Chain A
Amino acid sequence: MTPPTIGELNPEIAKKLGLDEYQIDQLAEEAGRWEGRIILVTFVVPPPRTDGKKDPIAYLPPSYQRFGVVDRDHRQRVNVGETWLVETVQKGPGTLFLIPLLRLDPKSLLELQPSRMRELADHIAVKNPSLAKELAAKLPAPPDPVVARQYEEARATIQELQKNVDQLSRDKASLETQLGQLTAMKQTSGAPASAASGGPNPLRRRPAEAPVTTSSPRIPASPSADGITLERLEGEQVHSTALVHLAYEIHFTGDLYRIILRPSPTGVPCDRGKMVLRGLSRVDHSPPPATYSMFWDERLGGFVAYIGQSQRALEPITTPP
């Protein structure tokens, strides 16, 4: 339906202005020329106005030959310095009114939500068919359904294989742990470790990489879960194949139930797994030899040996009433 002209709507005004039918039609055409366009604008401070208003304005592209002001229903949303995608509304031959649609900032560009994208696309499709057509031409063609299905199948296969790889990695770590324990046991019985494993002793790595930590780094199921032992040879001298560092810091727990050996260059010297644990004879009163269960505690950053069997020999601690 053709929109009514100003002359049809108000013939008296047209007569007062001295406009004929042709001029009225020209004005009506001009009035609708910039209607419903979607453009990108940046709002700036307006030049001083006689009425003192300071609503932000936007200079439009040169072809528009005019500037735009924010539609009064949306003034609260727009600030000077912001860039917006706006829809133009032409209410007369002069200034264009702008309805802000989407503020463009890093957040809106990088984190555009799917619902907002759909809203924007719908708006463009309805309000600006020419832009929608232009965008549609630039979009890549949808993939062939067969290719898309093959792509999804391939992705599922990759995920399945990745799971298998992860499982195999876990199995490998577990087997390395067992190998380390077996090597240690064999070494204790006198056979050379390198000959037994066919390679370097896995326990002769720094503790953070020692395989004994991979199975149960925090709290073992039982004190002997890792199969490592600390042998008390004579006096306070001890030996363990797991002690591969040159020196260890020695601390007893407050309940004198455990002893913690942390690798430290300033600690007690350790020679080929042998070292002196000062204070051990005061905790374990039974005569050597003795064997203590030991494991690597990732949390404490050292080996923990259980010496609690001698706890009963100590004087009871007096507790407050």
Chain B
Amino acid sequence: MLIEESPGDRVMVFVDLRNVMQSDLVKTRRDQGWEIDLVSLVRSLPGNRRLVGVYAFDTLRRHDDGFVRGLSLVRALRFQGFRVIAPTDEPDEPGTQKEADVMLATEMLVQAFQGTFDVAIVVSGDRDFIPAIRAVQNLGRRVEVAALQGTYTSKLVESADRFHIVDELPFLRPSEEVTA
């Protein structure tokens, strides 16, 4: 590996929830009776380095009856120490993820300016993040990208200082209903 991990490095993880949860691999595994443990995934990414913060971004969907979908996941993640930023979608654009990418990029840049991390790990295969990744790198911070197979492009891999294939990380456990 070209860039070695240093135990003293402060790592901050930025998760694009929609990109992970709506990926084909995750959907398939959920259909096969596996639960997704995002905490385990995030714990595995920094390795021996210090994890100083985890941000998760998504847009919650409000149904016609007022029920907001995905709120239980947000609450569960918040209990686990995630800082979840997930506004509810607009009535005229139901079901679309808006603002999340920009919110993630903005938060990463603000944290980089404030010097709160040495290494940022973006969990997403979305190439929209490439300009933000470059801007953070220009501030002297390292940016790593973690993405699932089939969700990322080579441009995104090139822009990152290091690339993690999420498929090879531990984040699955058998769901209670199937195995009981």
Residues on A lying within 8 angstroms of B by beta carbon are: 249-260, 278-279, 282, 298-301, 314-315, 317-320
Complex alpha-carbon distance, A50 and B179, angstroms: 97
Measured CB to CB, the nearest residue on chain A to B166 is A254
By a CB distance below 8 angstroms, the chain A residues around B29 are 254
Query: Knowing A251-B37, A253-B170, A278-B179 touch, does A317 contact B44 (C-beta < 8 A)?
Result: no
Interface size class of B (residues with CB under 8 A): 20 to 34
Residues of A within 8 A of B5 (CB): 299
Interface of B: prevailing SS: mixed
In the complex, B47 has a CB within 8 A of chain A: yes
Contacting A at CB under 8 A, from B56-81, are none
Chain A interface secondary structure, helix, strand, loop or mixed? loop
Known: A317-B24, A317-B25, A319-B24. A257 touches B168 (CB 8 A): yes
Q: Are the C-beta atoms of B172 and A252 separated by less than 8 Å?
A: yes
Q: How distant is the Cα of A88 from the Cα of B166 in the complex, in angstroms?
A: 73
Inter-chain CB contacts under 8 Å: number: 71
Residue from A298, A301, A317 having most chain B Cβ neighbours under 10 A: A317
Contact A254–B174 (Cβ < 8 Å)? no
Chain B residues in the interface with A (C-beta under 8 A): 5, 24-26, 28-29, 32-34, 37, 40, 43-44, 47-48, 148, 150, 166-174, 179
Q: Are A279 and B174 in contact (CB under 8 A)?
A: yes
Please name all residues of chain B whose beta carbon is closer than 8 Å to the beta carbon of A253 when the two chains form the complex.
167-172
A300–B174 CB distance below 8 A: no
Known: A279-B174, A300-B47. A254 touches B150 (CB 8 A): no
Task: Give min CB distance, A289 to chain B, whole Å.
Answer: 21
Q: How far is the CA of A301 from the CA of B40 in the complex (A)?
A: 11
Q: Do residues A251 and B172 form an inter-chain contact, with CB atoms below 8 A?
A: yes
B33, B48, B171: the one within 8 Å of A254 (CB): B171
